[in-house]
Structure formats: C-alpha cells, structure tokens
Structure 1
Amino acid sequence: MRKFYEKYYQPDNATLIIAGKFDEKSALKYVSDYFSVLKKPDRNLGGTYTVEPAQNGEKYFEIKRNNDQQIIAAGYHTSAFADKDFAALSALYEILTSDPSGYLYKNLVETQKVSSIWTFSPVVRDPGMVYFNFDVPKDKNLDETTKLVRSELDKVSSIKFSQDDLKRAQAKLIKGIENERNNTIDFAINLTEIVGAGNYKLGFLYRDNVESLKLEDINRVAQKYFKNNNRTIGVFRPSSNEERVFPSEFRDQQIADLVKDYKGKALEKEPAPFEASIANVKKNLTEGKLFNGMKYGVINKELKGYKIQGTFRFRIGNEKDLESKESIGSMTASLLKAGTRTKTKEQIQDELDQMKSSVGAYVYGQNLIISIDTYKQHYPKVMAILQDMLTNATFPENELTKTITETNTWLEGQLKDPDAIANNELQRLAAPYPKTSIFYVASLQEQIDNNKKVTKAQVEDFYKNIMGASDGVGTLIGSIDAKTASAELEKTFGKFTAKSKFIEVKPTFFETKKQDKNIITPDKENAVALGTSSFKMTQDHPDYAALVMANEILGSGGFLSARLPMRLREKDGISYGVGSYLNIPVSNDVSSWNYYAYLNPTKRDAVEAAIKEEVSKAIASGFTQQELDSNKKSYANERTTSLGTDNTLINLVNTQLLFGRSLDKYDEQNAKIQNLTLSEVNAALKKYLSGNNVISVFAGDFNKK
C-alpha cells in the first residue's frame, strides 16, 4: 500500500481544495504535515498527444430496454472550457431550452410534441460535447417525434437571435455563477472540475466571457457547431463534400499564456462569523405575527453575497375540503408562476433571473410550502412578485396541460423503476388508508390517472378557496432589518386568506406486522430493499433520545461506525448503499423505524439475511460501550455542524413557531444523548423494534442468475 501511495499520490498530479470557514494557518499546517512527506518524482507526466477527429457525418443509435418512458437524445461536438466559444454556447443552450422563452421549448414543449427538454455540457480540458434530452410521452409516436426534433435542431444555425434572447440568457448564467459562488460546497466542487479543465483561473475567464457576450457570438457558434454532420441522433448517411467541424485545441502552454496575466475582480466582503449555537440563534432571532395570524421569525445572520432565504409553511383545508384533491393541489402550486393578471410566465421568470432570485411552491397533505432565495437589495421586489402570484395567478390552460404531461411523463418513467415501485408499495402496505383519506397513498398508475383528470376549474377553486396564510409560519434568514422584513411579509401574506377553514387531520396509527414482498422488475441492473416498522412516539417521549442513539449505532451513524453499513457494504460487499432512519414527528405519535439497501439483484437473499441477522443480533445481544461512546461523539459533532447550515436554522424556528417547540430542545436533546447509559439504549431498541413487525419490500430482476 505504501508503494502504491508513493507511486500515484504525488504532488505533481494532485490538486487540493479546502473550502469553508476554518483557521487558515492550521489548515496549511495540516497540508504541510500530511502531504509534504510525498516526494516529488523525477518523471514528467507529459502533455496531450491525441487530437479528437471531426465527425464524418450524422450518427444514430437506438437502445431498447424495458421501460415506459420515451427519450430522444442529441449530442454535438463542441469546444473546450478554455475556448471563448464555451461561454457563447452556454448562452445559446439557455436561449434554446429555457422555460418558457426557449426556441426549442416553444416549438416542442409548448406544442406538446415532447413533455420536457434539458441540456448538459461538461466542463472539460479538451473539446467536449453538449447533450440535449427530450422526454416524450408514451402516447406519441417516437419515430415521428424524432424526425420533428431533428428538423427543429436543423433550424438552429439559421435562427436570427435577438438582443433580448442574449440579455435573458446572460442573466440566467450570471445568476447561476453567483449562486454557486455563494454556496461554498458547490463552489469548491465546481472548482475541481475547472482545475481539471486546465487551470482554476479559467472559471473567472468564463464568467468574464459570459458578461462580455455579444449577439454575433451567439450567431457564430450556432452556425459553427450546429451542423447535422456534427450531431449524433440518427442513421449514418454517407455524403461527399461535408464541411467538418474542428474545435480549437488548447495545449498546456496556450492555457498558461491565456491566464498568466489575468487580474481577478475585487474580493467580496466575507460574511461576519455566526456562532453555531442555540444561544446565538435566540440572540439573533426576532419573532412576530401578521394581522391575519401568521407567525414569522427573522434570523439576523449575514450570508454570503448578502443573500436572503426564507421558507413559509401554511396549513390548509380540512378532511372534507381536501378529499381526493392531492393532484389538484400539486398542480395548483406548480402553476403559481405560470402567469398572473399583471405578468406573463416569461416576465416573471425574466425578472427573477435578472435579480438572481428564485421562488418555489409545492403542496403536500395539509401543507403549502413556499420558499424564496434572493439578495438583500432585491428582497422587496421578489416579495412583490410572490404577492402577485398569490393574489393574481391566472393558470393558463396550456400551462396546465404542459404540467400534467411533464409530470406524467416522469411518472411513466417510474412505473418500472425498482426504487420508485418499492417505495410506493411499502407506503401502501404500511398505511392502508381508504381512498377518501387525505393520507391515502395512490399507486403510480393512479397518480398518472388522477393528474389527467385535473381541470382548470378545479385548480382555480383550490387556489381561491383552500390556499391561504392564516394558519402558518415562516422564517427569513439573512442580514435584513426585522421591521423591513415584517413590512414586506405583511404586504405579501397579510391578506392571503383561505375560505376553507383549517382543521388538522391527524394520521391513523397502523400496527405493522411481519411481511416480505417481492416485486419483479425485468431487465433492471439494480435492485432495492426497503423496510418499515411502526410504533407510537413523539419527540418529547422519554424513550426518544435512547431510540435515536440506538438507530445511530444500528444504521444511521456512518460507514465507519454503524452496523448495517459496516456489515453489508464494508465487510460483505453486497450492497451499494445501506442504512436506517427514524421518522418521529413533533405533533403526532405515528412513528416508524425504516431501512434501505441498494443491491445487485443476484444478492437479494444475501442482503435480506444480513439485514435480519444484524437487527436480530442487536436486539438479542445489545450494543457495546465502545459503540455508544463513539456514536455519542459523532452525533454531537453532527448536531453542531447542522447548526451552521441555514436550512437547519430555518426549520428549527419554523418548528418553534408552528408547534411551540422551544429552540432549547435542540440542546436538551444533545444533553440527553450524552447522558444515556448503555442499558437505556439497548432497552429502547428491544422495546420498539422486533423482527416480527417489519414490512419489507424487495424490487428488482430477481430472476437473474
């Protein structure tokens, strides 16, 4: 092993990126201590010796697999990341596929020839490619749609793009660059890709190239790369006198010359440190109530780039008014941005992109969830757009049709997917509600059928009568004045009231009984095993802390400490990923322990035996003191780390506002965990988990040998 490390892990073929809040001196010392021992080799890795040849005509391929979802894909050879063409091409992809303004989107999705379109172009060192994906409903003729897609792609090189097209694409690309820059994890990961493309400064050159794009750049790359003999989609057709595409090749020295004199932009101010503790959260938290009764919280925490984030949870309706309306509610939330009496869908999206902001909404059960992601200077305008959506939405018929088609096309792709099938069936077995209940779990096919029945009138009725903010909470986080935040919240939600009275519907407890079910999904390479066991408990129950720690040791604590991952993944090597988790609510006592495992179908029996053996062993013999001590430490570290994430803080405050669960419970929970004895943990596991009450569902091609 040492020889392996000395041969391959050497300074001249490795890049180390450290990101986040840390002590720079300590980090550099660690790097020096652990990496300086690796000697720099005498050998030279050398440069690039091959050149990608131009494609000799259009290519076509076809894959036949068992599935219901139809897909058309198209690929073109394109530029290296170092090439200025990469920025122009990125803008072109946005202009072609953006919802709702894209040329391909309008001609294919708007006309319902395909249900959705997306594109991807990797950041690579050498000339790369772009991939276009078209999802096709199963009621469409695939051959005819393929001809239509090819015809639309053939038009790209002759389209006369407008300045508005360029402005819109630039706004979206710059929004993505800034959002990524303000997310440390995403920025660090993307930086590794850019380093692999030649040099980290290429990322800044790309940003500058996007900002300085001209309309002639878009037209030039469209004409240069979008030729049918540079495309992979159809049959091979020999032809003479083809004009071949040769993207520019970049040698190492050319990249070095390209970036050597580059001067970056001035560094932005780093956010002020924010202590990851409940005491500090309480110190920086302002709570209030709107005129209509909605409770809100504002966490004064300086975020990178002066971002403002918010999540709002509104409880809606009652059992009678929500009966059989799951699909209607989902469609209504999805269509809030589809247009209002004052703005079109395109105008809403353009304004949000210009402000590098986003607004999202979805409905599940008795909950309407709305989220915003913006910047301090744009907060009032984004809230005004949201207010417009909540009071003036128009729900265009064509947008409803498109949304149903897109959703059902995705669901059709799940009909024979082992993971989706197993998860759906497990929920139906564990919670057999009648169809009239708002908790009823529809089958995948039922979901498709229900979506098809949704009408514009039903959506408008749900919007006018059921949606509202009277019974709800919301939390904002960022460096924003509490009075300013409150004033905009009042404007946005203060008059957003529902005619349907909210009456909470409590879930029913169903006692699970031992059951193993196999579902055969032919011609699938992967399989899944899922299981659940029900019991009654809330997060305030005396046994809660002990059961949490028992589950940490059994399957949730990590590959180096939890028993299920250590046995199935590390020791036996029979599962790609395995673990367990608890679902214990704050407001009701319908709880469950759950496990999952992803596997090769041929390992189905081995996986089942190993899971049952490990669970039985834990129940019979208990855990060890060493396991408990190790997981106490990792649990405490994870809890502290979580307090440094904005979503955790928002969820904690929303939970306090909605259920009256004090923030102090967070620290109390950790204190209880740290004071647990081994006997308490072992007793909790025996009390709530037994091999006789676990429902297991296995899905995969188990006929394979």
Structure 2
Amino acid sequence: MIPSKQILALALAFALVLPGASLPASAQAPALPKGVVTGPSIEGISEYTLGNGLRVLLFPDASKPTVTVNLTYQVGSVHENYGQTGMAHLLEHLLFKGTPRHDDISGEMKRRGIAFNATTSLDRTNYFASFPASDETLDWVLKMEADRMLNSRVAKADLDSEMTVVRNELEAGENNPAGVLFQRLRSTAFLWHNYGNSTVGARSDVEGVDIGQLQAFYRTWYRPDNATLVVAGRIDPAVVLRKVQAAFGALKKPAAALPRLYTLEPAQDGEREVTVRRVGDLRLVAAAYHIPARTHADNAALAVLANVLGHTPGGRLHKALVETRIAAGTGAGAEGLADAGLLTAVAVQPRDGDPQKAQDVLLAQLEDLAKHPVTAEEVAQAQQRIANAYELYFTDVNAVGMGLSEFLAAGDWRLLFTSRDAIAKVSAEDVNRVAATYLRPSNRTLGRFVPTEAPDRVEIPAAPAAAGVVAGYTGRAAVEAGEQFDPSPANIESRTERLVLGDGLKVALLPKRTRGGTVVVNGVFHFGDESSLRGRDVASSLTGAMLMRGSRGLDRVGIDRRLEELQTQGSVGGNLQAATLSLQSRRQQLPEALALMASLLREPAFPESEFEQLRLQIVTSLEASRQEPGSIAGRALSRHFDPWPAGHPLHALDLDESLAAVRALRREDLVAFHRDFYGTADGEIAIVGDFDPAAVKRQLHELFAGWRSSHPYASIATAYTAVAPLDQRLAAPDKPNAVLLARHNLALRVTDADYPALVVANRVFGGGALKSRLGDRIRQKEGLSYGVSSGISADDSRTGKDDSGSFSIQAIAAPQNVDKVEAAVREELARLVAEGITAEELRDAVSGLLTEREQGRGNDGTVSGMLQDQLFFGRTMAFTAGLDDKYRALTLDQVNAAIRRHLKPEQLTVIAAGDFAAGEKPAQ
C-alpha cells in the first residue's frame, strides 16, 4: 500500500532521491529455458523475456544473504478514466485479498517472515517481497505472483471492506495541509493529463467504484506482457530463470493490444494560482513549472538545477530563505516521469511568517537566475552529491531491485544508468539554459489569467522513445562484489573481535569484504546522571542537533561538501545521556571520515545563525503539530503515563511548555551543555565491513579514547508504575482522520522469561495491519482503518533491575468510526486473554519472526547496531542466538500463560483525537 509520507519533513528537506549494475566479463550467461530470449546486460543486471512477453531482470550478488522479488506493472493512476480515479491503488489493495489457490496471501507471507508491501504511483504499480535467500521461499513467491497476476478474486465483498480502508488512507492524507497544497498544485498545473490526479483518487470515486469496472481494469492491465519481474540478491541466474519459466511461462498473453494513452498537456499560457485554506499552523509557498519527461536531454540538467536550488544546507533556496530566517525550510525537486512532469520548489514558514516576502524571495531565486547564473562550482558540487548517492545506492543490490520500478515506469530500466551518465555530463551552460527555458512566470503554477498582446508560452518538447535513448548503451564496469557472508549468530561472533580502548571505550570489529568496499560504523558515548541533567533536557536535544551545523574550520555547507568528497553518509548527534556517531563509507575513505566525525563531536562551533535557524524549525514543527490528531493524542498519552515530577530529566512537557523552553534557550546554553557533558571515553563503537582492523584500532584510540566527560554516566533508573485507565476524546477540528492510541504499563524486562512469549503474542494480536487479529478484523473484515497495530515494549538495563514496559495499540480511522474501532480493539483483546492464541498462530508467528531476524542480520548496518548494543549490555551474539532458541522452544501453554499474566484489558487507557463534532459524512 502507499506508505504514509511526512509532508512536513518533505517540505523541510526536499531532497532529490536517486534510486540507485553488464555481467562481469568472467561471468557465464545462464542456460536459457525454452522460449526465453536474452536481452541487454548492464553493470550486473541482465534482461530476459519469456514467450508471453514478461520481462525478467536478474541482479545476482552473493554478498547479500537476501533476495528481493519486485514485480512492476506498467499501470498507475495515469491510466484511469473519468469516475475511476484511485482504481489502480484500490486494485493494488485487493490483490492481497487472495486467489482461489492462495486464499491468505498476507498471512502466508507473514508466516514465512517475508517483508512485503506494494505501492502505486502515477505510471506503475509494484509488488515486492524480501527474504533470506531460500529456494523454497522464492518458489512460493514466484508462484503466488504468477497466480495473482491473472487469478485474483477482486470480489465485491473484499471491495466493500477495502474501500473504507482506502478512504481512511485518503482521509489521513487530507489531515496534512502541506499534502493538500501539493495535490492542489498538481491538479492546477495539469488541465488534461492525469498526472494532475491524486493516486489515492477522489473520495466520491473511491466510495462509488463499480466492481465490474474494477474487474475490467484488472483484466486490461494485469498481464505478463505489461509486467517486469526483478529478482535481486543471492541468486543463481540459471536456477531462477527456470523457476520463473515454471511459474510464469504458462500464463497466456492476451490477444487484445494494451490501450494506448495519447493525452498531452498543452503549453501553459499564463500564471496560475491556487490557495488552500484549512486549519493548520504552517505557512507554505510553492511553485511548479512544467518540464520534459525523463528521456528528454533537458531532464538531466533540470535534476542538477533542482539540486543546486534545493539542497540543504548549501542550496540557493536555503541560503536565501532559511539563513535569513524568512522560512524554516526549503526544498526543490525535478520529476523524471514517462511524460512531461514538474519541477517544484517550496518554502515552509511558521504561522507568523511573512508569506508575501517568502513568495517574493522564492520566485526571485527561481525566475531571476539570468541575473545570478548558476556557477560551474555549484554544478560540480550538485553532480558530486548526486553521483555519491548513485554510487552508494549501487552497493545495495536489493535497493536497486526495488528502485528499478521508477525507471521501468519512465520507459526502460536502463534509464537508471543513462540518467546517471547524463547528469555527470551536465555543464553550467546547460543548467542556466534550462532555467531560462522552463522557469518562467507563464509556465508557473500560481495561476491568474492576464490578457496580453504577446502571449509567452513554453512549449514542452516531445521526448524521444526510451528505446532510442538506451539503444546500444553498454554501461560502466560493474561494482565490485563482496564475499558470501553467513549471517548466523555463530559466524558473526566468530568473525567479531571485541576489545577495550583506554578504560571505558568498548569496540567491536567485524571486517569482511563487501560490495563496493562499504563499511558501517555506529558509536554511542555516554555521560551524565539524573542529578546533573536536571533542567538541561531541552538543551541536550538541541546540542545534539547542532553538531552537524558547524565546527571549528567547517561551516554547515563545508561539512556537507566534505562528506560528499569522502563519498560518505555520516552524522553525529546527541540526546539526554549520549552522543552518537553513525556513518557509511568505503575502505579508502574511512580514516578521513572517522577523523571528520571526531572533530564534529569535539569541536562544534554552534554558529548563532544556525542556532536561530534550528530554533525556528523546531518552533515551526511544534506549532504545526498543535492541531494534528496524532500529536494531540500522543501528547495526552505521554502526560497521562508520565511518572516523573516537573524538573526531572525524563518529565514529559506539554506543547506550550516545550515551546517556552525552546524559545528560552540561548546559544550559550548549548555551548555549556557540550562543555559540561560531552566526551567519548565511555561508550561503544561497532564497525562492520571492509576495513583494516589494525589501522582502525590505532585511529579509534587516538580519536576517541582519551576524551572524558566531566559528568560520568549513570543510567536513570526506570520502574513499572501502575496508571489508572482513562477513556478520552480530544478535539482536532477540520481533521477528517482521527488517531486512536491505547496503552497499559507492564512490569517487563528484555531478559524476563515471559518476554519472548509476549513478543510472539503481540505479533499474532497486532503485529501488522495486513495480517494480525486486529488487522484481520478492523482493516480486512470491517474496513474501519487503513492502519492498526499493537506493540510490546520491554525495559533493558545493565543492572537488570529496570522493568518499565508497556503494551500499546495504535489505529487511524474516520472520526465517526473511532467508537467502533475502540469496541473492536477491546473485544479482540478480551478474546486474546480469555482464549489465547492457537497452535497454528504460534507456529506461523515464530517462523516469520525468526526469518525476519535472520534477514536483519544480513544488513551490515543492523549488525553494527546489534554489536554496539551488545557492547553496552555486556553481551555477545550468544544472547541473540539464545533469544532465537527461546522463540523456537516456545509452547502454546507458555505463550497463553504469559498473555493472562501480563495483558489486562481493564487497565487499558484509550485516547483518541479527531473532528468528532463533524458527525457523519453525507451519503454519496
């Protein structure tokens, strides 16, 4: 399903997201099954076509112990007709409802521990699954995907329940003022092309969808010759091709040709404007300009232009609007779609900002580039950032397998590589030319009609066919592959070296050969105790947030550029009792990257201008949350369960207290907190990947072992507290989506005997909106909520005494449905306690959980985090293996006894926030 998006975060950091390779010369092409035709092979990715037209892309990489299967259909919201908006997305939901042969697709995936989902966008729909390499699981996934390609039920009963789920998803999106603005911007920019429609669809279309039309839409577009199957990871191409042929080869290619779309958006003939007036605490101004499709030569220059404009912190919009404190955040992005799309720029302000000034400065930056042309240096910096993103992306085969969907949607998977190469060749002259061509008032969506004797229209040139752009393309050398690593706890432990530097810095080193020579570092450094931290909790969080905004010798832009030069993604930060370090780099760059991180931790400059920017952004974000149901309910729940008195470092502040505390802070408070608390001599560092252990040990000792905090670390004790139940409704006017939160406390530690049983019980009860007891009833059966889940939290400490755990439930729903959701939650929880779970549920939950844990250990970042955590608690991978063994050994009596001991329906607090005064929606 379409993942929820934090539009505010998008607006504050509008990053250009680049999805991320020919077979090595020594690789042997696999023997082809009968009827399979080979296609191009680029940088490790090879194409094949079955006799029925299904395209298959194989991307083998033995160094990753996982497999990703991604099936992309060339159908999205752009293919919908009048009255059918949202149909592609609704159909995506219904394909999880099953076939005659696969009755419970979500349940089967969960039982096998497969991470799965699906997304719908403008030009395509994709279904993906990721799992530890397993022939049995791969067989099942391929056969299931082949089955639901043609045999999904798409039944009226499923539509009736899922329609309300999708409507709730639509309502959730309508809660966000920024999200609504961006959609209105698109619908105003496009008069005729379906790119102007929301992927989720119009409410009336979703509510009134005809099952016959939906079934016809399914039969029209879901067919092998309209699909591309990507299989990436630890695979044998010859074996996979045989499996694919066995699963998909018998599917018939329909005799009817695929419908052809021919609508083109005409040249815009004047400024347009749209104003959205809704409840909220943000001001936004955005401008959108029509630009060519991805295959047009100008698209690469426009991608660079968007990066020059929208990058934080070095971009022009950030400098002109954020550094001057006109806006709290800015961003820009250029689309690369199958048809002509948009370049969009945005500025976000607090509610008391000057909107006219923000608009004037934003448009001046966009439309007056001729007065201040983009320089060659700016272009080179943008190209380096984009190239670094591509290079890092190519080190993750599974991510590439997923990202290929976007380029397939644009016309051909090889556009991934031709786009990369085209961006690398862009010049400053190219960027300034496309800026002058497309960033004109008459091509801008702000929208008013002005009579003129000399119309100024921007004709968007036709883009060539993708086949012509990629014809003859051979690509670059494939990324160097790593070793085939066994992610079992025993092997991880045998390959890991643990040591102590100085008298308190614990280190875990796991060297191995990785794809692209990547290496991951996680570090946590501890300080402070309850007494010394009183009254300094807010200063602690802002101190951590300022560390990446300037150090001695490097300003924020300089830090950003240095990381790009080192081809490193890295950050340092801090919280109440710890400083943190994380980075992903490469073998050659690791020493310099570590030195940079150490200097950022030890020598922050706390620039006054950056402090004021940060404070404005935090105040803006807090104010923006004032009317949001999730924030309202979350704050109320936190206060209700807060056991700490005012002044305690862990005391929960309400919104106004938080605002007052942030506004009262001064730069000097942050300088003092860093001086009084920061140090790196007491902590943990875990490194996993391609590095020289001996050199790393020496460097870690030099950089981190000698810097001691003035306030030694002592954990703040936490303990279970009984909290009286509460049932409360809170008003969130003009918000069509409500949020329900529920909780009761548990006396529970990670090391308790009942902890594994409760984890498994929770997985059965609410461990997923698509497959769990809550999901089955509230989403799948009754269609009341797009998202419902539950969680178990257990305390953990080095003393083994802390036991502040909790059991929680979260759901969203239309306000008029919240009472029904709460009733269902309470009924299902009472049934869980009274009846327990079944033997089948136990088997499936344990199987899926163990598979997910195995898959997690296939990710170097996850392993690095595990090793750091184990260093802190004095554990090894034996603890991880032991927990796996406890899950395997669980009996039904153990799980059900733990449920009865710990879960107390009568103690459940339920708080919901929404527009409950609005009442029922009128019938459509």
TM-score clears 0.5: yes
2:577 paired with 1:363: no
Paired residue type of 1:697: I
Query: Does structure 1 residue 575 correspond to structure 2 residue 785?
Result: yes
Q: 1:12 to 1:413 in 2, by over 3 A?
A: same
**Counterpart in the other structure of 1:92:** 305
Residue 766 of structure 2 aligns to a residue whose secondary structure is helix
Deviation sequence 1:129-165 (CA, Å, 0-9, x none): 0121211122212234323333333322432222211
Tell me the residue number matched to 2:232: 19
The match for 2:419 among 202, 206, 209 is: 206
- Please show how residues 523-672 of structure 1 align to structure 2 within 5 Å: 523-556=734-767, 559-560=770-771, 562-587=772-797, 588-672=802-886
- Structure 1 residues 577 and 635, CA, compared in 2 at 3 Å: closer, same or farther? same
CA contact (8 A) 2:293 2:338 kept: yes
Residue in 1 that maps onto 2:265:
52
- Could you tell me which residue of structure 2 aligns to residue 165 of structure 1? 378
CA distance 1:361–1:449, change in 2 (3 Å): farther
Q: Which amino acid aligns with 2:913?
A: A
> Deviation of residue 513 (structure 1)?
2.4
C-alpha distance 507-674 of structure 1, shift in aligned 2 (>3 A): same
Distance 1:558 1:61, change over 3 A: closer
Partner of 1:107: 320
Which of 686, 700, 721 does residue 475 from structure 1 map onto? 686
Deviation, 1:235, is 3.8
2:739 is paired with a residue whose SS is strand
Indicate the larger mover: 75-84 or 333-342. Answer: 333-342
Q: C-alpha separation between the residues in 2 aligned to 1:500 and 1:362?
A: 18
Which consecutive residues of structure 1, in runs of 5 or more, have no partner in the other structure? Answer: none
Equivalent position SS for 1:238:
coil
The equivalent residue for 1:445 is 656
Return the letter of the residue paired with 2:657. Answer: E
Q: Which residue is 2:367 aligned to?
A: 154
Q: Is the 8 A contact 2:731 2:914 kept in 1?
A: yes
Q: Give the Cα–Cα distance (whole angstroms) in 2 for the partners of residues 358 and 35 of structure 1.
A: 40
2:900 to 682, 686, 690: 686
Aligned match for 2:715, one of 504, 508, 526: 504
1:320-331 equivalences in 2 (<5 Å): 320-331=531-542
Deviation at 1:557, TM superposition (A): 5.9
Q: 1:571-600: CA deviations, max 9, x gaps?
A: 111111111111112212111111111212
Q: Say yes or no: does 1:241 pair with 2:454.
A: yes
Please list the CA deviations of residues 433-492 of structure 1 after superposition, one character each: whole Å capped at 9, or x if unmatched.
212111111123322221112211111111111111122111111121211222222232
Matched to 2:321, the amino acid is: L
Alpha-carbon separation, structure 1, partners of 2:540 and 2:448: 44
Paired residue for 1:346?
Answer: 557
Please give the secondary structure, in 1, of the residue aligned with 2:658.
Answer: helix
- CA distance in 2: counterparts of 1:53 and 1:169, whole angstroms: 31
Matched, 1:287 2:498: yes
Moved more, 506-515 or 73-82: 506-515
Count residues in correspondence.
Answer: 702
Structure 1 residues 25 and 569 mapped into 2: Cα distance closer, same or farther (>3 Å)? Answer: farther
Residue 679 of structure 1 deviates from its aligned partner by 1.4
* Number of the residue aligned with 2:409: 196
Answer yes or no: is the 8 Å Cα contact 1:6–1:39 preserved in 2: no
- Whole-Å Cα distance in 1 between the matches of residues 593 and 688 of structure 2? 15
CA contact (8 A) 1:615 1:691 kept: yes
Matched to 1:404, the amino acid is R
Residues 512, 30 of structure 1: alpha-carbon distance in 2 compared, 3 angstrom cutoff: farther
Verify the 8 A CA contact 1:390 1:496 in the aligned structure 2. no
1:494 and 2:680 matched: no
- CA–CA distance in structure 1, aligned partners of residues 382 and 754 of structure 2: 54
CA distance in structure 2 between the aligned counterparts of 1:626 and 1:541, rounded to whole angstroms = 25
Q: Is the 8 A contact 2:527 2:678 kept in 1?
A: yes
Cα distance change on mapping 1:558 and 1:141 into 2, 3 Å: closer
How do 1:505-520 residues align onto structure 2 when only pairs under 5 Å count? 505-520=716-731
- One-letter code aligned to 1:32: Q
How far apart, CA to CA, are the structure 1 residues paired with 2:588 and 2:652? 43
1:123 counterpart = 2:333: no
Q: How big is each residue's C-alpha offset from its partner over 1:590-634, in whole Å with a ceiling of 9 and x where there is no partner?
A: 111111112122210110000000000111122222211222221
State how far apart, in whole Å, the 2-side matches of 1:231 and 1:495 are.
57
Q: Distance in 2 between matches of 1:246 and 1:624?
A: 64
Which has the larger displacement, 179-188 or 429-438?
A: 179-188
Tell me, in whole angstroms, the C-alpha distance in 2 between the residues paired with 1:395 and 1:139. 26
Report if aligned partners of 1:473, 1:658 keep a CA contact under 8 Å in 2.
yes
Once the two structures are superposed, residues 650-698 of structure 1 have per-residue CA deviations (whole angstroms, 9 ceiling, x without a partner) of 2221122111123212121122222222111111001101112212211
Partner of 2:570, secondary structure, is: strand
Tell me the distance in 2 between the aligned counterparts of 1:234 and 1:247: 18
Bigger mean CA deviation after superposition, 500-509 or 160-169 = 500-509
Cα distance in 2 between the residues matched to 1:11 and 1:429: 54
Residues 57 and 239, structure 1, Cα contact 8 Å, conserved in 2: no
Q: How does 1:369-380 map to 2 (within 5 A)?
A: 369-380=580-591
Give, as a single letter, the amino acid of the residue that structure 2 aligns with 1:357. Answer: T
- Looking at structure 2, the residues matched to 661 and 186 of structure 1 have their Cα atoms a distance apart, in angstroms, of 31
The more displaced of 25-34 and 11-20 is 25-34
Q: Write the deviation string for residues 412-448 of structure 1: whole angstroms up to 9, x where unpaired.
A: 2211111122222212211232121111111233222
| Contact 1:58–1:229 (8 Å) recurs in 2 | yes
2:347/2:358 contact within 8 Å kept: no
Name the counterpart of 1:389.
Answer: 600
Report SS of the residue matched to 1:232: coil
Deviations 1:282-335 (A, max 9, x none): 111111222252111112233321111111112221222222222212221222
The runs of 5 or more residues in structure 2 that have no matched partner are: 1-98, 100-149, 152-214
Question: What does residue range 426-445 of structure 1 map to in structure 2 within 5 Å?
Answer: 426-445=637-656
Which of 315, 319, 337 is equivalent to 2:530?
Answer: 319
Report Cα offsets for 1:202-247 as digits up to 9, x if no partner: 1111111111121111111111111111111354433331332122
Whichever residue aligns with residue 244 of structure 2, its letter is V
Residue 869 of structure 2 aligns with an amino acid whose one-letter code is T
2:545 — aligned with what? 334
Percentage identity across paired residues of the two chains: 29
Shift in Å at residue 7 of structure 1? Answer: 4.8
Corresponding residue of 2:243: 30
Residue 143 (structure 1) aligned to one of 356, 359, 370:
356
Q: Does the 8 Å CA contact 1:578/1:598 hold for their aligned counterparts? A: yes
Alignment-mate amino acid for residue 322 of structure 1: L
Name which of 665, 676, 679 aligns with 1:454. 665
Q: Secondary structure at the match of 1:132?
A: strand
CA contact (8 A) 2:543 2:673 kept: yes
Secondary structure, in 3 states, of the residue corresponding to 2:281?
Answer: coil
Secondary structure at the aligned position of 1:336 is classed as helix
User: Contact 2:544/2:575 (CA < 8 Å) preserved in 1?
Assistant: no
Change in Cα spacing, 1:460 to 1:27, as seen in structure 2 (3 Å) is same
TM-score (norm 1): 0.96
| Alignment check: 8 A CA contact 1:415 1:445 kept | no
Amino acid at match of 1:581: G
**What's the counterpart of residue 917 of structure 2?**
703
Is the CA contact (8 Å cut-off) linking 1:306 and 1:376 kept in structure 2? yes
